Structure 1
């Protein structure tokens, strides 16, 4: 499969950039979509993702809500990885700010893939939020679980559920001569190294902790996965025979968040950082959740055990330990300029 052309939508995003990097490292030709090629601060780093790649990355402009650009973007591709979708925790005033780009954008990409004639497999980046069980939190969540969109208070979660449902319905209704293999990747909370200083919800939340903007840490337990494992899962979906037709939850482990932050504090605070280790009383978190949809969302996704069966046994991935994930993330944010370098900063241990 080396040398095959792969389209990656949302190439400048947190997940998309890692997908592009890993594809290049494994010898694929990569075409990435971005919203604005002229925004050099957002896209310039993509040309240096991989040292001495077999094929330089090709970047093209495409907008999720404009179908015309996707026909040209998909042209000649054997595989498509649709990683572009807005991610925010705080609910927007207008739900369509998230829902329309997620659903319509996914369908625009899939329509272009179906009409292209060369695409054999498509991987859509979804979310474990599409596997919630309304009203019950017992047992491990699996790919057989489907969220009920109208019951989801998080607009982001609803957008991911509706987009994934639209993708499966679209492929099911395609005529046989236009069908392709579809896989959906459903990651839990994504952490891990950043490849640029670009802002993003996942990165900003952790950067705020490193910068001391979050003085106390909520006592919650979350499922997390490394962004590098998420990217690798995308690639395994085009190289693994059993992947098409499957939803695949991507999860490393369920961990107590304060213990993770303490691990990073032990590593970084001697180097001049002030990462907090004080925890927030649970009653305070409950009160705050009454006034903040983002905090309410965090409480709702806490303590949910998520299956790793397909991730490990179908895709064959052994997850990176989350403590390593977070330490690598901390160093990366300094190295890419997202967090200031202190006078005591020593750099990553492997340098």
Structure 2
């Protein structure tokens, strides 16, 4: 991992989230001082406890402050004195506004709020946590992997979350170009994020693994996706934060070729044995999946993905930043072990 020779103060927005908490942990392990934002300071004790359970560090090197992407209060203080900002916080599938218009507005306004504060505080570089949703949606089927050159087509029939991430990232690049006053920007685009949890939380991206372990997914939906470990996503954020080659670039965080969901289930069965006995063994035919998506809420949510193969390559980050992601099979197994250990899945 690329490290700064002299430890600096880094702001992580959304430090209690799945990716945000791993970014905080990675920075602390690298010797930095970390300030992180949460919307509710009531989450600070649990966040500190989860981080201390995963690593030893001087508690004084971590400061937790309140700031909400929906308002200006707190952001000037949050970025003051920081050399870098990892802007991880964003409306998610779990806490998103109810309407598409509100989700798009919240994502874009939140990103610009952080960028303005960072510019005014003379921060060196902001690393924006974007998503594969800003890269690979609204395209016709293809046989080649998606790369950082691709952008989601916001005029296509795509879900609100993917539209919001795309428009927010475009707004970020436009702001830095037109109003950044020397502020550098890099964007990280994780594909499907798996990996161990730091506490008894339930990130939406892990629910497919939990559902397979608990028998809630009886048959696999017909689509493929690339996957990446949350620990490697955090590592890529740190590389994008300091490496001169990262400024002004987009970086896909993908650990390898696309896997069908039924392949994920096979990995679970092979690595966990009887504890993954409920993992499905069959893939639902595409025509039947599309028909059932009219009535089944879970399939309805997956409708834009049905029949698709969301293959994405992280070769650019591997080649230029020295990023080396874990094998996907190890990540799938580690995810399952973590969910079972924290009681988030029973496996029976």
Q: Same fold (TM over 0.5)?
A: yes
2:54 maps to 1:57: no
2:20 match: 16
Residue by residue over 1:250-280, the C-alpha shift from the partner in whole angstroms, topping out at 9 and shown as x without a partner, is 1112122212212212333424763332332
After TM superposition, the runs of 4+ consecutive aligned structure 1 residues lying more than 6 A away are: 89-92
2:315 maps to 1:312: no
Match of 1:72 among 71, 74, 77: 77
1:322 match: 328
The 1:190/1:49 distance shift into structure 2, 3 A limit, reads same
The 1:330/1:47 distance shift into structure 2, 3 A limit, reads closer
1:348 match: none
2:338 match: 332
Answer yes or no: is the 8 Å Cα contact 2:213–2:275 preserved in 1: no
Question: How far 1:282 moved relative to its partner?
Answer: 2.5
Length-normalised TM-score, structure 1: 0.88
Question: How far 1:91 moved relative to its partner?
Answer: 9.4
C-alpha distance in 1 between matches for 2:322 and 2:282: 38
1:160 match: 165
Answer yes or no: is the 8 Å Cα contact 1:20–1:32 preserved in 2: yes
**Unaligned 5+ residue runs, structure 1?**
343-351
1:298 match: 305
1:141 match: 146
Length-normalised TM-score, structure 2: 0.89
2:228 maps to 1:225: yes
2:183 maps to 1:180: yes
* RMSD (CA atoms): 2.4
2:8 maps to 1:4: yes
C-alpha distance in 1 between matches for 2:95 and 2:194: 18
C-alpha distance in 1 between matches for 2:13 and 2:185: 15
The 1:293/1:156 distance shift into structure 2, 3 A limit, reads farther
Answer yes or no: is the 8 Å Cα contact 1:35–1:62 preserved in 2: yes
C-alpha distance in 1 between matches for 2:333 and 2:145: 28
The 1:247/1:282 distance shift into structure 2, 3 A limit, reads same
**Unaligned 5+ residue runs, structure 2?**
none
2:252 maps to 1:249: yes
The 1:212/1:156 distance shift into structure 2, 3 A limit, reads same
Question: How far 1:330 moved relative to its partner?
Answer: 0.5
The 1:210/1:92 distance shift into structure 2, 3 A limit, reads farther
The 1:194/1:219 distance shift into structure 2, 3 A limit, reads same
C-alpha distance in 1 between matches for 2:8 and 2:54: 17
Match of 2:29 among 25, 28, 32: 25
The 1:65/1:285 distance shift into structure 2, 3 A limit, reads same
Q: Indicate the larger mover: 62-71 or 202-211.
A: 202-211
2:101 maps to 1:96: yes
Q: Indicate the larger mover: 267-276 or 13-22.
A: 267-276
Residue by residue over 1:4-45, the C-alpha shift from the partner in whole angstroms, topping out at 9 and shown as x without a partner, is 011011111111111111111111111111111114675343
Question: How far 1:303 moved relative to its partner?
Answer: 1.1
C-alpha distance in 1 between matches for 2:346 and 2:259: 28
2:123 maps to 1:81: no
C-alpha distance in 1 between matches for 2:95 and 2:263: 25
